[in-house]
Amino acid sequence: MSEHPLDQDKTPCEAWIDGASSGNPGPAGAGVVIKKDGETLGTWQEFLGQATNNVAEYRSLILALRKSIELKIARLVVYTDSELLYRQLTGRYRVRNQRLKELFAEVRELLKHFKTFSIKHIPREQNREADRLAQAARRRR
């Protein structure tokens, strides 16, 4: 793996992610905020079409990983309020749903681009910015 510009100080970047779906399944969106040392490197939102909330959560993680790779981030900490996503990625829950298995496999492939990766579960109240982006994307249709 070649050296990354944001890898010099060994401090990880942080990504706050959220997925939103109304109707479950219904119109869905993903929201991502990526920061380094408290400074926002970028915010993204994506309309996902019809999806369940769990699919939207995975798609928000995939969006965050792809944007981090584009930014040449080597070390990443992801913050999510999705207990299911957190527990599946940390191995506490098995991934049983076929669609989530596909998304989980995609996440595992993307994680190969990072020197370090961790995911942390946070209360919904600490994830307002990503939630706002996901809700806005969901309404875009």
**pLDDT given at position 1:** 46
List b or e across 39-74, with b for residues whose CB sees 16 or more CB atoms inside 10 angstroms: eebebbbbebeebbbbbbbbbbbbbbbebbeebebb
List of residues 6+ apart from 96 with CB closer than 8 A? none
Residue 35 included in any domain: yes
Q: Collapsing DSSP states into helix, strand and coil, what is residue 52?
A: coil
Residue 4 included in any domain: no
Residue 85 included in any domain: yes
Render pLDDT for 90-134 as a digit per residue (tens, 0 to 9). Answer: 999 999 999 999 999 999 999 999 999 999 999 999 999 999 999
Please count the other Cβ atoms lying within 10 Å of the Cβ belonging to residue 117.
Answer: 20
Number of domains in the chain: 1
Half-sphere CA count of 28, side-chain side, radius 13 A: 22
Residue 24 included in any domain: yes
Query: ∠ at Cα 123 (62, 130), nearest 5°?
Result: 40
Render pLDDT for 16-65 as a digit per residue (tens, 0 to 9). Answer: 999 999 998 999 999 999 999 999 999 999 999 999 999 999 999 999 99
Please check whether residue 11 is in contact with residue 117, taking contact to mean a CB–CB distance below 8 angstroms.
Answer: no
Residue 75 included in any domain: yes
Residue 128 included in any domain: yes
Residue 141 included in any domain: no
Residue 104 included in any domain: yes
CA distance 31 to 128: 10
Instruction: Residue 77: give the domain boundaries.
Output: 12-135
CATH number, domain with residue 92: 3.30.420.10
